[in-house]
Amino acid sequence: MHREPHTLSRRAALRLAAAAGLAGVVTAHAGRHAFAAADRALDLAVERTRITIDGETTRAIAIGGSIPAPTLRWREGEEVVVRVTNRLDEPTSIHWHGLLLEGVMDGAPGFNGFAPIMPGETYTYRFVLRQAGTYWYHSHSAGQEQEGMYGAIVIEPAGRDPVRADRDHVVLLSDHTAEAPAAVLRKLRISEGYYNNGRRTLVDFFRDAERDGFSATLRDRLAWGKMRMDATDLADVTGYRFLVNGKGVRDHWTGLFRPGERVRLRIINGSAMSIFDVRIPGLAMTVVAADGQDVMPVRVDEFRIGVGETYDVIVLAREDRAYTVFAEPIDRSGYARATLAPREGMAGEIPEQRPRTVLTMADMGMDHGGMDHGDMDHGGSDHAAMGHGAHGAHGGSAGHADPAPARAVGWADAATPPGAKALAYDDLQSLTRTADLREPAHVIDLRLTGMMSRYVWTLNGRAFDDGEPIRVAYGDRVRIRFINTTMMAHPMHLHGMFMELENGRTGRLPRKHVVLVPPGRTLSVLVTANEPGEWPLHCHLLYHMASGMMARFVVEPRAARL
């Protein structure tokens, strides 16, 4: 199928903004009048700029004059006022990712009566900080987040911080492309293989399996992975540069410490499309918070971080040397790098890159019965382009015991070396007890679906434009089951309320604003619907959201039903 590229790109860019315009008329904005001074007031301009990454200068959008945007250091209990002025020639918005606040202040156009901030306009956000921890803020309009509109939020607790550190650094990961986001999406839509030649689909797998048998096909896939000819559906945009605090690999951002200090790293994945495996060779990390919420400390050597997630870790750097914070995207198409050092001008060793994993049957949804093959588009995949010559080449070594070099099998496998500990969701336990112990009043099944070959990503098979809102009554406790029927992981983000991840840690379920749902798996969360409004619930992969992987999660006042 073929459509006018121009139409597509325009639609893509305007999709969210258009939806926003409709909703914006309905509700008056509490935020649009003058205020008495709050505890903190801040002016942030959104404007076009240029950013130079390792010598290459490209167009970008800055909030507050820098990329990333300035780190906002606030204190729990304060009321903050942020005046955002749009100096672009397109609508914009700022969303406070992970913050509990009144709906209109959430800053997602088309939801809770928030209208996009039009060119030349100033919007005043005003809210009381009801929580502490590490969060972030970013544009919720078109592809602006990809262009540099992201920054960190650090909120000190009103009381004593259960974590004590001598030093505190934000480590904000992002992915950067010289291309305009609308162009990226256009290319993804026209050809699913644009960034991913040689990509195989589930349908291909079944065809091969029918012909060659399952085990031969699986071997084949392993071989493909080893030869790095298979993009394995881990990421669908490549060609990124990966940044830490806006710096590329060559310019590498440096965070200072004095040997012996206890250093808190607030690691935020502010990228558009990249899931990272993060480690600091030579240093163990103790995870003390996830998505801004304190967790029981857990000592790890590495962790995987989905788009939108945050982890706070403590490192005890005792030696007078430089360490490298190393973050590899799961498709291993590059890496982000930062340096922790006692002095400027030092550089840690760059570790060897890990192999890219190869997906398995489980990742393809074989472990649950709900697979709907109708979701897969048969027409679009070019089977012939897969190059089966490689299969024959592999035949020569088939049957030989492979001494298994560094290889990763299955989505969850980060090629963690033996003896090293990678954080698992099951390790996360809230430092404070689960407040709401009620059984969920009802269960909401949300199937993560997609037609991969047309780059249509959906929830329950429907794109945001034609999907029905999810409705829950104010005060209800509900369970949401994220059933991933696709071959990609989806970081699912709910605005306005924390999701308590059902990871077996009953009584201390970790509170998350993003849960990374692995391919072919189901994760469930509990939500107490105590924030009235209509909240976005979406995949935080930017282009998945833009292509429709979003729903409206409506918390309805009980009174409205009488």
Partner 1 sequence: MHPKSLLIATIALLMAGPGPAFAAGGHGHGQAHAHDTAAIGRPAAVSAARRTIRVEMHDNHFTPDTLRVKAGETIRFVVTNKGDFLHEFSLGTAAMHAEHQKTMAVMMEHGMLTPTGIDAERMKMDHSAMPGMDHGVGHDHANGVLVEPGKTADFAWTFDKTVDLEFACNVPGHYEAGMVGTVVIGR
Nearer to partner 1, 57 or 432 (CB): 432
Nearer to partner 1, 40 or 262 (CB): 262
* Residue in 373, 502, 354 with CA at minimum distance from that of residue 439: 502
Q: What angle do CA 383, 386, 391 make, to 5 degrees?
A: 120
Nearer to partner 1, 197 or 286 (CB): 286
The distance of closest approach from Cβ of residue 7 to partner 1 in the complex, given in angstroms and rounded to an integer, is: 54
Per-residue string for binding with partner 1, 23-52, x by CB under 8 A? Answer: ------------------------------
The distance of closest approach from Cβ of residue 284 to partner 1 in the complex, given in angstroms and rounded to an integer, is: 8
Nearer to partner 1, 213 or 260 (CB): 260
Three-state secondary structure call for residue 374: helix
Site for partner 1 in 376-435 (CB under 8 A): 429, 431, 433
Question: Which among 20-28, 281-289, 374-382, 528-536 is the span making contact with partner 1, rule CB under 8 A?
Answer: 281-289
Nearer to partner 1, 164 or 378 (CB): 164
Determine, following the binding rule CB under 8 A, whether residue 167 of this chain makes contact with partner 1. Answer: no
The distance of closest approach from Cβ of residue 266 to partner 1 in the complex, given in angstroms and rounded to an integer, is: 14
Provide the token pair at 368. 């649950």
Q: CA 487, CA 497: separation in Å to the nearest integer? A: 28
**What is the separation of C-alpha 123 from the centre of its chain, rounded to a whole number of angstroms?**
26
3, 32, 130, 164: which one binds partner 1 (CB under 8 A): 164
Site for partner 1 in 221-260 (CB under 8 A): 260
- The 8-class DSSP code of residue 198 comes to T
Site for partner 1 in 310-329 (CB under 8 A): 314, 316
Question: Could you tell me if 465 and 545 are in contact, meaning their C-beta atoms sit under 8 angstroms apart?
Answer: no
Question: Which among 148-156, 190-198, 282-290, 543-551 is the span making contact with partner 1, rule CB under 8 A?
Answer: 282-290
Determine, following the binding rule CB under 8 A, whether residue 84 of this chain makes contact with partner 1. Answer: no
The distance of closest approach from Cβ of residue 90 to partner 1 in the complex, given in angstroms and rounded to an integer, is: 44
* Residue in 46, 40, 125 with CA at minimum distance from that of residue 82: 125
Nearer to partner 1, 163 or 473 (CB): 163
Nearer to partner 1, 81 or 300 (CB): 300
The distance of closest approach from Cβ of residue 207 to partner 1 in the complex, given in angstroms and rounded to an integer, is: 46
The distance of closest approach from Cβ of residue 399 to partner 1 in the complex, given in angstroms and rounded to an integer, is: 39
The distance of closest approach from Cβ of residue 318 to partner 1 in the complex, given in angstroms and rounded to an integer, is: 8
Q: CA 234, CA 222: separation in Å to the nearest integer? A: 14
The distance of closest approach from Cβ of residue 499 to partner 1 in the complex, given in angstroms and rounded to an integer, is: 23
Determine, following the binding rule CB under 8 A, whether residue 262 of this chain makes contact with partner 1. Answer: yes
Strands (E), 87-191: 95-97, 122-128, 133-138, 150-156, 167-176
Single-letter amino acid code for the residue at 12: A
The distance of closest approach from Cβ of residue 289 to partner 1 in the complex, given in angstroms and rounded to an integer, is: 10
Cis peptide bond N-terminal to 68, omega within 30: yes
Q: CA 306, CA 276: separation in Å to the nearest integer? A: 7
286, 353, 434, 530: which one binds partner 1 (CB under 8 A): 286
Q: CA 115, CA 25: separation in Å to the nearest integer? A: 8
Nearer to partner 1, 284 or 473 (CB): 284
Nearer to partner 1, 433 or 561 (CB): 433
Provide the token pair at 457. 């990503």
Q: Is the dihedral of CA 429, 433, 438, 443 positive or negative?
A: negative
The distance of closest approach from Cβ of residue 265 to partner 1 in the complex, given in angstroms and rounded to an integer, is: 12
Determine, following the binding rule CB under 8 A, whether residue 165 of this chain makes contact with partner 1. Answer: yes
Number of H helices, E strands in the chain: 6, 30
- Angle in degrees, 0-180, between the axes of helices 202-212 and 214-226, rounded to the nearest 10: 130
The distance of closest approach from Cβ of residue 63 to partner 1 in the complex, given in angstroms and rounded to an integer, is: 32
Site for partner 1 in 123-162 (CB under 8 A): 160, 162
Question: Which among 131-139, 141-149, 271-279, 284-292 is the span making contact with partner 1, rule CB under 8 A?
Answer: 284-292
- The 8-class DSSP code of residue 77 comes to T
Question: Could you tell me if 442 and 478 are in contact, meaning their C-beta atoms sit under 8 angstroms apart?
Answer: yes
Determine, following the binding rule CB under 8 A, whether residue 163 of this chain makes contact with partner 1. Answer: yes
Size of the site for partner 1 (CB under 8 A): 19
Question: Could you tell me if 535 and 555 are in contact, meaning their C-beta atoms sit under 8 angstroms apart?
Answer: yes
Q: Is the dihedral of CA 368, 370, 375, 380 positive or negative?
A: positive
Nearer to partner 1, 259 or 395 (CB): 259
The distance of closest approach from Cβ of residue 162 to partner 1 in the complex, given in angstroms and rounded to an integer, is: 6
Per-residue string for binding with partner 1, 290-309, x by CB under 8 A? Answer: ------xxxx----------
**Residues whose CB falls within 8 Å of the CB of residue 255, separated by 6 or more in sequence, listed in order:** 169, 171, 263, 265, 338, 339, 340, 341
Nearer to partner 1, 14 or 431 (CB): 431
The distance of closest approach from Cβ of residue 299 to partner 1 in the complex, given in angstroms and rounded to an integer, is: 5
Q: What SS3 string covers 382-436?
A: CHHHHCCHHHHHHHCCCCCCCCCCCCCECCCCCCCCCCCCECCHHHCCECCCCCC
Nearer to partner 1, 180 or 296 (CB): 296
Cross-strand pairs, 447:
483
Residue that the structure tokens 């994220």 belong to: 482
Nearer to partner 1, 399 or 504 (CB): 504
Nearer to partner 1, 256 or 316 (CB): 316
Residue that the structure tokens 């998350």 belong to: 512
Q: Which residues bind partner 1 (CB under 8 A)?
A: 160, 162-165, 260, 262, 284, 286, 288, 296-299, 314, 316, 429, 431, 433
